[in-house]
Structure formats: C-alpha cells, structure tokens
C-alpha cells in the first residue's frame, strides 16, 4: 500500500476517533456537557491523539529501519569479486537499489508484469534496455549478481511494506479502541491532552538539539580522520597554505585565519560606526514619518542575497579602489583585495548592526531620557552620557553577532578578495578566508580519503568553534543587559 494512503487512513481513523470520543463523552454525562470534567473537544482530541500518534511514530521508525535491514540482508548476496570490480560496496548497493526501483517503475507502467519480473534473467533479457524503455536510465549493463540482489531486494521490500501497513493500521485501531473505552465522564481528558502537547513540544526541541549535536559530531569525526593524516601542529601553526593534490601539501590555518580576521575587522570598521549612528538617528532624532519610511528600507537592504553584494564588489568597488587608491599609492594592481571584500561586507552588515542597535536603544527606558533632559542636558549629551552607556552591553552583543556573520561570509570574499591565501598587511592585496577554502577544497573531484579534502572539516570545525564562542559571549552580554532593566 502506498505510504500516502496509509497516512490518510491513519488520519481518517484519528478523525473518527475524535467524533466517537466526543460523542461517548457527552453520552456518558447524560447529554449535558457541563457535567464533564473537560470540554467535549478534549475527549475527542484525546482519542484522536491516541489513535494517530503511536501509529505514526511506529511508521516513522519503520521507515528509517526498513532500508537498513533490507540492505543488510541483500548485501550478502553479492560476491566480493563483484564489489571489487565496481569499486565499493555502497556503489554496488546503489546499483541494486536503482534496478529494484526501475523494476517497480516498469511494473507500474505496465511494461513488465509482476510474474515476468520475478522470472527475469540476464541471459534472456537485456534488463538495461527494457528499463530504458520506461525511462529508467542505468549506468552500465546489469550483472547477474546485481539483478539477483535487486530481485531479492524487491521481494523483501514488498513483504516489509505489507507488514508495515498492517502493523500501523492495527496500532491505530487499537489506540482508537483504548482511547474510546477510557472516555468516561470523570476522565481528565484536558490534562492528558496537555501532556500530549508538552510531549510534542519537547520532541521538537530535542530534535533541534540533536541535529546540532549530529552536525558537530559528523564534523568531529572527519576532523579526526584529518588529524590522522596530517599533524595538528602544522595545521594550527602552519604559515603556508599550499594544497597540492599530488601530496606533500602545506595546510596551515594561519594565513586563512588572518585573511578572515583582516576582512572581518575592516567590515566591522565600516559597519559599526555607520550602523550605530544610523540607529541613534533613527531612535532618537528622526521624526515618526521619516522612521516609517527609512526603517523598512534599511531592513530591505538586509534581505539582499550576499552574492549580489559580491557582484557589487567585483564590478564596482574593486576596480574603484584599485584605480583611486591602490595604484596611486603604489600598493598593488589587483582589484580583488581585502579592502574590497571588507568594505562591501561592511555595507552588507550596516542594516544588521543598525536594526539590532535601534531595538536596543529603543529598549532604554524613556524615564532615563526624561531624567537627563530634566537636568538640563541636551539631546546629544543625553545620547552620549546616558543612552549609549545604558545600551552599551547590548550594542557590544550586536557587534559580536555582526562579527560572527562576517567571519562566516563566503560569497563576498570569493568575488571581492579572491581565493589566494596570503599572509600580508597590505589591505590592497588579494587574500582569502577560511570559508572560501572550505568550498574550494570540497568542490571538483575530491577524494575523501586525502588530507586536502578532509582539511575542510578541520577548517569548518575551527570556524564553528570561533563563531560559537562569539555567539555565546554575545548572548551572555545581551542577557546581562536585559537583566539590568528587569
């Protein structure tokens, strides 16, 4: 039975449970809903939850486990020789799966009958050609081993599907019956629905946390692999970045880290003063009408994809800086430079800094402004001596958040600063950052057993740790700031 149908059936049972539960509850109170412990809908929801949730949970687990189990049982059918021939076990298995799915498609399209399919053999039929007719393209001719495995795979899959549908429907029915029988006048349906909702919310937050943990672990794993192939000292303290896929590369972090920090610092030097002053103007001086226009405009700026900023760097800012600054000053002839990327990234961050700071400044209580004006302070004295000090921790938090965005930025760097790692102080020289190199090491033909590819994970983890540190610090500061005003 297709998955969608199974799903619909379970939901339909749930709806039925709702109606039945509700009716039974009302009937048990002699038709007077006021005699019930909870509102009638709670009884209905309770039955519906008992019907749907366990069934769907089992379905989800089953869906995850089924391919694993079947795969484990099918692999044994393929001899080692065939695996060596094709390359790796996973490649063979993906062939098997494709053939099995192809056969399913063929049956569904009517090109093959179910009986024909079972009796297929590579001696009599060109399986690849037959499947090609129904639009399933295969990479190479189908070997007898693969076909046998595919047939087995199909058979197991069909049995499992049937079992699955049966189990899920039975579970839903049992849940319905259980819920229905429990529905009585004094049953506390409201509380049990409350618990179900709590469980749902907890499940969602657990999933969010688990995915984060999963991401970190997968990176950790690959990073370990990397450090087995490449000494960690040379990675963390190496001053050269010269990967070569023939081996013997230098994979030093320092030049990339330097590029990242240099560009981020320039970006912050551009974005923080402009963003902050804009925020002060918006929050303290601008009239209502100006703010109503300007604030959304600035926020639109925040929605521009970074690749567009990258183009701006490449086409406009880069040549401009080269022609008017770098060349006259004799500092270089490259239009890709730290300065280009930094300035454009700064422009990208202005709305980010200004809208965060604007919120923070607005959160400074009006009573402080009144207090300052009441003592005869001017507006700018009030801003400098009362509002900014009061908002400072929050603003620092905003700046740290901006910094962690700058560190993670990739597109603007590729287009603005280039992709050549360098360790130099000259802001008009091309340089590159950690993120760009992560992309660089993983695109194209990569062999995931070489340190040149695996280094990307070590870089990623380093970046993750740095931005995580910045974010934690920022959140800590922002929280302290909130506490100050209750």
- Name the residues that contact other proteins, by CB under 8 A: 287-288, 365, 367-378, 381, 385-386, 389-390, 484
* CB burial of residue 449 (10 Å; 0-12, 13-18, 19+): exposed
Question: Based on CB atoms, which residue is closest to other proteins, 206 or 380?
Answer: 380
- The owner of tokens 């200004």 is 354
Question: Based on CB atoms, which residue is closest to other proteins, 132 or 365?
Answer: 365
Question: Based on CB atoms, which residue is closest to other proteins, 186 or 370?
Answer: 370
- Whats the size of the chain, residue-wise? 486
**CB neighbourhood size of 99 (10 A):** 25
Q: Is 279 left (phi over 0), alpha (psi -120 to 50) or beta?
A: alpha
Coil, strand or helix: which one is 188?
coil
Instruction: Considering only the C-alpha atoms of the chain, give the largest distance between any 2 of them, rounded to a whole number of Å.
Output: 100
Q: With contact defined as beta carbons under 8 Å apart, do 193 and 42 qualify?
A: yes
Minimum Å gap between C-beta 243 and other proteins is 51
Question: Based on CB atoms, which residue is closest to other proteins, 386 or 455?
Answer: 386
Question: Based on CB atoms, which residue is closest to other proteins, 292 or 300?
Answer: 292
Question: Based on CB atoms, which residue is closest to other proteins, 173 or 377?
Answer: 377
**CB neighbourhood size of 357 (10 A):** 27
User: What are the φ and ψ backbone dihedral angles of 367, each rounded to 5 degrees?
Assistant: -60, -30
Question: Based on CB atoms, which residue is closest to other proteins, 7 or 373?
Answer: 373
Question: Which structure tokens are listed for 69?
Answer: 């189990």
- What residues have CB less than 8 Å from 71, skipping those under 6 apart? 93
Question: Based on CB atoms, which residue is closest to other proteins, 179 or 393?
Answer: 393
Minimum Å gap between C-beta 394 and other proteins is 12
* DSSP bridge partners of 242: 250
Coil, strand or helix: which one is 409?
coil
- From the list 312, 486, 474, the residue with the least C-alpha distance to 401 is 474
Residue-by-residue DSSP string for 81-115: HHHHHHS-HHHHHHHHHHHHHHHHHHHHHTSS-HH
């Amino acid at each position: 039975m297709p998955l969608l149908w199974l799903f619909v059936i379970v939901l339909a049972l749930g709806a039925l449970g709702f109606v039945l539960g509700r009716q039974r509850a009302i009937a048990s109170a002699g038709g007077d809903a006021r005699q019930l412990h909870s509102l009638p809908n709670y009884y209905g929801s309770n039955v519906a939850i008992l019907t749907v949730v366990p069934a769907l949970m089992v379905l989800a687990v089953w869906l995850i486990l089924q391919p694993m189990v079947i795969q484990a049982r099918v692999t044994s059918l393929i001899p080692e020789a065939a695996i060596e021939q094709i390359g790796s076990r996973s490649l063979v298995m993906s062939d098997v799966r494709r053939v099995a799915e192809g056969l399913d498609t063929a049956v569904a399209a009517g090109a093959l009958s179910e009986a024909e399919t079972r009796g297929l053999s590579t001696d009599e039929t060109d399986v690849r050609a037959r499947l090609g007719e129904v639009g399933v393209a295969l990479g190479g001719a189908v070997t007898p081993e693969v076909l046998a495995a595919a047939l087995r795979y199909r058979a197991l899959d069909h049995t499992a599907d049937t079992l699955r549908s049966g189990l899920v429907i039975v579970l839903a029915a049992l849940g319905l019956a259980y819920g229905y029988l429990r529905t009585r006048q004094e049953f506390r349906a409201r509380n049990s629905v409350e618990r179900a909702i709590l469980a749902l919310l907890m499940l969602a937050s657990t999933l969010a946390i688990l995915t984060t943990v999963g991401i970190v672990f997968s990176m950790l794993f690959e990073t370990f692999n990397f450090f087995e192939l490449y000494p960690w000292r040379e990675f963390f303290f190496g001053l050269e970045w010269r990967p070569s896929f023939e081996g013997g590369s230098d994979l030093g972090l320092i030049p990339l880290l330097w590029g990242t920090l240099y560009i981020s610092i320039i970006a912050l030097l551009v974005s923080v003063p402009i963003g902050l002053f804009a925020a002060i103007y918006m929050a303290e001086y601008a009239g209502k009408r100006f703010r109503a226009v300007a604030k959304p405009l600035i926020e639109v700026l925040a929605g521009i994809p970074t690749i567009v900023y990258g183009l701006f760097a490449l086409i406009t800012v880069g040549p401009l800086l080269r022609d008017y600054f770098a060349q006259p000053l004799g500092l270089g002839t490259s239009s890709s430079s730290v300065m280009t990327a930094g300035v454009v990234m700064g422009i990208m961050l202005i709305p980010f800094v200004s809208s965060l700071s604007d919120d923070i400044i607005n959160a400074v209580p009006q009573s402080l402004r009144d207090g300052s004006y009441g003592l005869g302070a001017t507006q700018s004295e009030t801003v400098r001596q009362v509002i900014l000090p009061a908002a400072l921790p929050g603003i620092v938090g905003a700046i740290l958040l901006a910094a962690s965005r700058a560190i993670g930025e990739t597109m603007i760097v590729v287009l603005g600063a280039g992709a050549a790692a360098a360790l130099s102080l000259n802001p008009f020289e091309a340089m590159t950052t950690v993120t760009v190199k992560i992309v660089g090491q993983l695109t194209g033909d990569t062999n995931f057993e070489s340190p040149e590819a695996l280094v990307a994970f070590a870089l990623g983890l380093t970046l993750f740790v740095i931005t995580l540190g910045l974010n934690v610090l920022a959140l800590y500061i922002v929280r302290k700031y909130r506490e100050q005003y209750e």
